[in-house]
Structure 1
Amino acid sequence: MPDANLPGFRRRFLITPSSRAVTAALEDDIHRMAVTLHHDGESVTRVEAEMARHPWDLCPGAVAKVEADFAGRPLAPSAGSVDKKANCTHLFDLAELALRHAGDAAQTLYEMQVSDPEDGRVTAVLRRDGQERLHWHLQDDRMLAPHLAQGLPLIGLRPWIATLAGDERHEARMLQWASLVAHGRQIPWEIQKGLRALPASCFASQPGRHEKCQRIGERIDFSKPGARLPLAD
C-alpha cells in the first residue's frame, strides 16, 4: 500500500444492505452521491438517488434518470440493458454496486488510492474492508504491473479486465475508473472552469446538454494532512 500520507486521489464506496433496501454511497475529490434501491427480495421496487457534490451544473437531472432506469430491475447486475452513458456514470455504477451487494448481510467498504504522478510514475491500490485486493504500477499511463497487463494503456484495459473472473474483474473496473478520474487532480481549477464533459460520455454531456453544461462544484483534497476520510462524516 502506498504511504497514506502521499498526495493523491482518494475514493471510497460504502454499501449498506438491509432486509428490503441497499444503499451504495460514493465520495472522492469531486463527487459525493448515493443510490438506495428498495426491493422485495426479487426485484427493485423503488429507487432514491441523491447528489451532494458533482462536477457539472446539469448533473442533478440524472437523478430522475437512474431512478426510472433501475426501478423494476431484478436483483442482479444488468447485462447492458441500461445505457450507462445516458445516465450519470457514477450514479449508474452505484446502482449496479447496490444490485451486486443487495443480498449481503453486512456493510462493504471499498477504498481506492491513486498517487499523484512522480516523473510519470503512479501507484494505484484498491482495498476491500481493509484488505488490499489490487496493487498497480503505471508509468505515463501505461501499466507496469501486474505483469499480465504490462504495457497496456490505462484507457485500454477493458480486454485484459475481461479475462479476469468474479470479484477481481469487478474490482479492476473500479480501480481503472478511479485512476482515470484521478487525472482531474492535475488540471488547474482555472482551466477546469472552461471545460465541458466529453460529448455523449454521460448524462450532462448528451446532445442538447453538452453545449450548456458548466464546470462547478467543490473540490476536496482528502490527501492533505488532517483531512477527513471520504464518507467519514
Structure 2
Amino acid sequence: MSTVEDYPKNPDYSHGRYRRRIRLTSEPGQVHGELEDTNHGFRCTIFHDGEKVTDIQSEVLRIPFDTCPGAVEPLRKLIGLALCDDIQTLIPLTDSSSNCTHLLDLALLAIRHSRRSVAELIYDICVEDQADDNSPAAAEVYANGKLLHRWQTCNWEITGPDELKHKVLYKGFSKWASACFTGEEREAAFILQKGYFVASARRYNIDAQVGKAANEDRDVMLGVCFSYSTPQIEIATRTADSTRDFSNTPELLLKFQEVN
C-alpha cells in the first residue's frame, strides 16, 4: 500500500493555482456540459422532454486512469430522472462509487441547468496554492463572471470570512453548507468544495506516476469512484500526460488541448 507521503512532489506547488471551468449551454430539448481542470476533461449532453432525462451522451477526454472511459455507461442510469431545480434532491438517487465523480457532477449540473432561463452558465473555480503548510490560500467561484464565494482556506478548513471560520471542507461539508446556503449560492458552494478537493492533487507530480496501479491504494481509496471500485481497481493504471497547469492560462480551459 502506498500513501500520499510516497507520491512524488510537484516542484511548482506553492506559487501557482488550480483552475476549473464548467460551461452549461441549453438548447431546446438538450443541455451541453463541459468541464476541464488540472486533472480532467469531460463533455456530456443531456437530452430531455421538458420533464425528465431521455438520453445521455458523454465524452471522456482527459482522465487519470485508463479505466475511466468505462464510466460513460453507468452514467446512463440517470436516464429517466426528473428535471429539477436543486441538484441535492438528485444525489440520493445516484451511486457515486459506480460513477466517475466529476462526470456525474457535470451531468447533474446539466440536468439542473435545463430548468434555468439563462441559456449559458459558466462557472470558474480558482484555488491558490498554499505558500507553506500553515499559510491560508484563497478559493473562489464565479458564475458568469460574478463572484459567489471567496474563502480563505488552510488544510481543509475555512479561515475566513469570520462567519465561516473553522468550517470544514471535507467530511461534514455537506451538512453545514446546506444549512448556510440556499439556491445558487448553495450550488456554487458545492462546486467550489469539489474544486478544492481536486486542487489538493497539485501538491503532487501526478504525471510521474504513469503506469501506477490503482490497486496499490486499495486500502484507502476503494469505492470512492468508478476506477477505484471493483472490478476496475484491479486493472486500472495511471495514464500518461494527464495533467495540465492552467495557473496563468485560464483562457485555455475548455479547449481540451493535447500535449505538444
- TM-score with structure 2 setting the length: 0.81
- In the alignment, what sits opposite 1:73? 81
Contact 1:9 1:115 in 2 (8 A): yes
Please, which runs of 5 or more residues in structure 1 have no aligned partner? 1-5
Deviations 1:43-66 (A, max 9, x none): 111110111101111100010110
Map 1:206-221 onto structure 2 (within 5 A).
206-217=229-240, 218-221=242-245
- In the alignment, what sits opposite 2:178? 162
User: Which one of the candidate residues 99, 103, 109 is aligned to 1:97?
Assistant: 109
C-alpha separation in 1, matches of 2:230 and 2:23: 33
1:152 CA displacement: 2.9
Alignment of 1:131 with 2:146, yes or no, is: yes
RMSD: 1.9
Deviations 1:153-195 (A, max 9, x none): 3213222112121111111111011011011111123664436
C-alpha separation in 2, matches of 1:41 and 1:154: 35
**Secondary structure of 2:234 counterpart:** coil
1:195/1:221 CA distance change after superposition, 3 Å: farther
Query: More displaced, 153-162 or 124-133?
Result: 153-162
1:205 CA displacement: 1.0
C-alpha separation in 1, matches of 2:37 and 2:193: 15
1:227/1:150 CA distance change after superposition, 3 Å: closer
Alignment of 1:202 with 2:225, yes or no, is: yes
User: Which one of the candidate residues 151, 155, 159 is aligned to 1:140?
Assistant: 155
1:227 CA displacement: 6.5
**Secondary structure of 1:205 counterpart:** coil
Deviations 1:107-131 (A, max 9, x none): 0000000001112321100000001
1:220 CA displacement: 0.9
Alignment of 1:178 with 2:187, yes or no, is: no
1:42 CA displacement: 1.1
Contact 2:65 2:227 in 1 (8 A): yes
C-alpha separation in 2, matches of 1:21 and 1:190: 36
Contact 1:17 1:103 in 2 (8 A): no
Please, which runs of 5 or more residues in structure 2 have no aligned partner? 1-14
1:161/1:192 CA distance change after superposition, 3 Å: farther
**Secondary structure of 2:190 counterpart:** helix
C-alpha separation in 2, matches of 1:122 and 1:195: 32
Deviations 1:53-94 (A, max 9, x none): 011111000101102x11121112415111122111111101
Q: Number of aligned pairs?
A: 226
User: Which one of the candidate residues 122, 127, 131 is aligned to 1:118?
Assistant: 131
Amino acid aligned to 1:175: L
User: Which one of the candidate residues 21, 25, 43 is aligned to 2:34?
Assistant: 25
Identity of counterpart residues, as a percentage?
31
